[in-house]
Amino acid sequence: MAKVDIHVDGRRRETDAERDTPLLYVLTDELGLKGPRFGCGLAQCGSCSVLIDGIETRACVTPLSAVGDRQVTTLEGLPAWHRAHGGRTAPSGLHPVQQAMIDEQAIQCGYCFNGMIINAAELLSHNRRPTEPEIQEAMNGHICRCGTYPRIVRAIQRAAQVMREAKA
């Protein structure tokens, strides 16, 4: 078995996983990351989401071979990814979406928060003024077992405002 290099959260990491191993298993089992989570295993719930070159991707169905030299960003690396793209983190050091989720008490059981935050970060990276329908459309496909969708929408709106003010 040959070693495979992947770029995760700004660092080159080496794994000896088979190339058809789901990226999620490499991130959680081999690299010990806690952000991406196993939810459904079918790319339906979003809890395994990561950014690959800035695009939200379901890691449970993405084989290691599909990653190549692309950059993988997990929940743990989101603040650094945001700074690398010209954004300012919250005083807590978190990405504005992470801080807004805390401030709006949008996270209950924790099942969905990884995917919700990853997807919201992608949305706000290219749309700093999303309307409520745009947020709802973007978040479609991410399942929240606790039903905190109104709080999640408010958190994304809050993060968008913080990000706009930081650019002013």
| Least confident window among 2-6, 31-35, 45-49, 55-59 | 2-6
The residue-averaged pLDDT of 5-20 equals 95
**CA–CA separation, 113 vs 98, rounded Å?**
9
Give the total number of structural domains in the chain.
2
Q: Which residue has the higher pLDDT, 4 or 55?
A: 55
Pair (123, 111) in one structural domain: yes
**Average pLDDT in the 26-42 region?**
96
Domain holding 41, by residue range, is 4-75
- What pLDDT, on a 0 to 100 scale, did the predictor assign at position 168? 64
Evaluate whether 103 touches 95 at the Cβ level (below 8 Å): no
> E-assigned strands of 60-162?
71-73
Mean pLDDT of 11-21: 94
Exposed/middle/buried for residue 5 (C-beta within 10 Å: 0-12, 13-18, 19+): exposed
User: Are residues 57 and 89 both part of a single domain?
Assistant: no
What's the rounded mean pLDDT across residues 161-167? Answer: 92
Name the average pLDDT for the chain: 95
1 has a pLDDT exceeding 90: no
For residues 67 and 86, membership in a common domain is answered with no
Query: In the prediction, which pLDDT does 167 show?
Result: 78
Q: Which residues lie below 8 Å from residue 113, measured CB to CB, with a gap of 6+?
A: 101, 106, 107
**What is the bridge-based pairing of β-strands 49-52 and 11-15?**
unpaired
CATH at residue 69: 3.10.20.30
Let me know whether 157 and 82 are in one domain. Answer: yes
What confidence tens digit (pLDDT) does each residue in 103-128 have?
999 999 988 999 999 999 999 999 99
- 55 and 111 in a single domain? The answer is no
Residues 106 and 162 in one domain: yes
pLDDT number for residue 111:
87
Q: What is the pLDDT of residues 61-103, one digit of tens each?
A: 999 999 999 999 999 999 999 999 999 988 899 999 999 999 9
